[in-house]
Structure 1
Amino acid sequence: MILRHLTIDSSEPYELARFWSAVTGWPLGDDDEPGDDEVLIEAPAPVPGLLFIRVPEAKTVKNRLHIDWMPDERTRDEEVDRLTALGAKLFEDHRTPDGLGWVTMQDPEGNEFCVERSTIERA
C-alpha cells in the first residue's frame, strides 16, 4: 500500500493550498485555480501530496491528525517567524529553556501543525 495524499478539509481549498504551497515550496497542480473544490500541492516523491477538499462545515474541534514539520534550512524559531509572516498563528508554545521542544501552530483555517527543532539544531 502507498500513501498517496494527505487530505485536508477546507472552506477555501485554493487559498489554503496556496498557503501550504508557500510553506513547503511544493507547487500547486497545473490545472488548479481559484474556486476549485479540490486542489493538490504536489510533494517530491516519495512524500505524499497535500489534497485540499471543499467541505460545507467549518472546523470546530482539535484535529485528530496533524503534521509535524522539521525545518531543514532554518532553525525552529526562524521557521516559526517565517510561518507567522505567511499567515500561520501560534497556538501552543512547547519550547523549553534548554532549546528543546516544539511549537504548535494553526494554518489560516485553524488546522493545527507542529514545528520541531531543525536538522541544523539536531546535528
Structure 2
Amino acid sequence: MALGWKLVIDSRNASTLAGFWAEALGYEVEDPSALIERLLADGHIGEEAVIEHRGRKNFRGYAAVRHPDDPFDQTSGVGQGRRLLFQDVPESKSGKNRLHIDIHSEPGGLDELVTRLEGLGATRILEQDQGPAGHWWLMQDPEGNEFCAA
C-alpha cells in the first residue's frame, strides 16, 4: 500500500514562501480560514495563533500549497495529495539542502521557465549542461533553498 506524504520545508516567512512555490509549481495555497474561524469561535486557539495574509486567515508560522487536481478536505483546506508545508523556524538556512525540488520545463522551454522563476524571486546560481544527460539550472528560492530548473 502506498503511503501519503507531504514535504515539510523550514522557513523564515511561511506565507511568503508558500506563495512563491504555489506560483512556481502552479499549485494552490491552502486556505484554512474556515477551520481557523471554527477553532477561534470554539476557544481552541486564540488570536495570537493567527495571521492574515492576502486577505485570508492563516495559522501563524505555517502555510501549505497543494496540487490543484488532488483531493482536499473541504473543512480544513488541507490537501490530501501532493503537498508542501512551510513552517517557520527561528534560525536562518545554513549550508546546502540535503533534499531539493526539480521543476521540469516543457521541451525546449528551460529559458522561459528560468526567466519566469526569476520574476517570482528565484536566483540563478549555476548552469549545468551535461549534453545528452541533461541541461538544467541550479537556483535558489527567495529564502536561499536550492532547487533545479530543468
Q: Give the TM-score, by structure 1 length.
A: 0.82
Mapped partners of 1:71, 1:101: distance in 2:
11
Q: Secondary structure at the match of 1:77?
A: helix
1:57 aligns to 2:86 (yes or no)? no
1:56 and 1:41 mapped to 2: Cα distance? 21
Identity %, equivalent residues? 38
Query: In the alignment, what sits opposite 1:119?
Result: none
Whichever structure has more strand as a proportion of its residues is 2
What are the ranges of 5 or more consecutive residues in structure 2 without an aligned counterpart? 34-51, 71-79
Q: After superposition, where does 1:1-123 map in structure 2 within 5 Å? A: 1-31=2-32, 33-34=52-53, 36-43=60-67, 44-45=69-70, 48-72=82-106, 75-95=109-129, 100-116=134-150
4+ residue stretches of structure 1 with deviation over 4 A? Answer: none
Return 5+ residue gaps in structure 1 as ranges. 117-123
Number of equivalent positions: 116
Structure 2 CA distance for aligned equivalents of residues 66 and 26 of structure 1: 17
Q: CA RMSD in A?
A: 2.4
Q: TM-score under structure 2 normalisation?
A: 0.68
In 1, the alpha carbon distance for the partners of 2:81 and 2:124 equals 26
